[in-house]
Amino acid sequence: MSTLEIRDLHVSVETKEGPKPILRGVDLTIASGETHAIMGPNGSGKSTLAYSLVGHPKYQITSGTVLLDGEDVLAMSVDERARAGMFLAMQYPVEVPGVSVSNFLRTAKTAIDGQAPALRTWVKDMRTAMEQLRMDPTFAERSVNEGFSGGEKKRHEILQMELLKPKFAILDETDSGLDVDALRVVSEGVNRVRSGGEVGVMLITHYTRILRYITPDFVHVFVDGRIAEEGGPELAERLENEGYDRFLTGASA
Ligand code: ADP
Ligand code: MG
Ligand code: MG
């Protein structure tokens, strides 16, 4: 079993006016096999948390610790974090012109595992994963993210997660812009990965919609750079009915 431990994390973002504090003391522990939904209003710092965990250079950790099985994640380079088992599906994935999906995935897999996957099993695994995500086989030969529709980008993110088999997967707004059919396919993919019981999932979302398909073990409500409330799946239901107003106005529950 693996554990990701975030302790009193404070993070500032680089702006033209200098560093601006965003995260103001985040405490969160995720064990492999658990799914944690991180919910909250826009601008509350959810993406900042995601980027900070994978080492985006724009974000400065001003204090706090992040440990993966006791190892100091914040001391690792971006590549080292990926090899240690951290995975981020990006909110706005970048285009990589000229690199096919199939080459991109195989290169990533090789970098993370420290050796190239055996070709026969790899081709089979990739084909199976693509079928399950209802992706056309020709997709594997397209350039990464070039001309991908919103749904194709999200499927590609889940495909990466299924094949790279991280210890901890951070899915930032994986549900945004998906129609109901795509949302179902993407959710099924996440649930397949979860069902192995070996991956810890941080599911970041503003809306409760995806949580009808993926039942989280824990829900954390992010407000103003820290966790304002925590609970089980019932908290997501409550947010679906009540929204974030009571957190924003400071009114008590
Ligand atoms: P969320 O993902 O919850 O919507 P973000 O982590 O993206 O929130 O943003 C948190 C806060 O950081 C927001 O108030 C946003 O305006 C601010 N922020 C992020 N990047 C910058 C930047 N480059 N300059 C100024 N403010 C920024
Ligand atoms: Mg946002
Ligand atoms: Mg965000």
In the chain, domain spans: 3-249
Q: How many CB atoms lie within 10 A of CB 195?
A: 10
The residue to mutate among 16, 20, 205, having the most atoms of ligand 1 within 8 angstroms of its beta carbon, is 20
Instruction: Flag whether the ipTM exceeds 0.90.
Output: yes
In this structure, the residue with its CA closest to atom 25 of ligand 1 is 15
**182: nearest Cα among 142, 153, 139:** 153
Let me know if 233 is exposed, middle or buried by CB neighbors in 10 A (0-12, 13-18, 19+).
middle
pTM: 0.92
What's the CATH fold of domain 3-249?
A: Rossmann fold (3.40.50)
Atom of ligand 1 nearest to the CA of 14: 23
**166: nearest Cα among 70, 87, 51, 66:** 87
Atom of ligand 1 nearest to the CA of 42: 4
Adjacent-strand bridge partners of 197: none
CA-derived radius of gyration, the chain: 18
Whole-number Å distance between alpha carbons of 211 and 222: 16
Distance 115 CA to ligand 1 centre (A): 37
Whole-number Å distance between alpha carbons of 171 and 90: 7
3 Cβ partners below 8 Å, 6+ apart?
29, 30, 31, 32, 67, 68, 69
Give me 28's structure tokens. Answer: 């969160």
Let me know if 242 is exposed, middle or buried by CB neighbors in 10 A (0-12, 13-18, 19+).
exposed
* C-alpha to C-alpha distances, 108 to 25, 29, 41, 56, 104, nearest whole angstrom: 32, 27, 33, 18, 6
* C-alpha to C-alpha distances, 163 to 58, 109, 130, nearest whole angstrom: 28, 8, 10
pLDDT per residue as tens, the chain (253 positions): 999 999 999 999 999 999 999 999 999 999 999 999 999 999 999 999 999 999 999 999 999 999 999 999 999 998 899 999 999 886 555 677 788 999 989 998 998 899 999 999 999 999 999 999 999 999 999 998 888 888 888 899 999 999 999 999 999 988 888 889 889 999 999 999 999 999 999 999 998 999 999 999 999 999 999 999 999 999 999 999 999 998 886 544 4
In this structure, the residue with its CA closest to atom 24 of ligand 1 is 15
Give me 184's structure tokens. Answer: 């179902």
Q: What is the pLDDT of residue 249?
A: 66
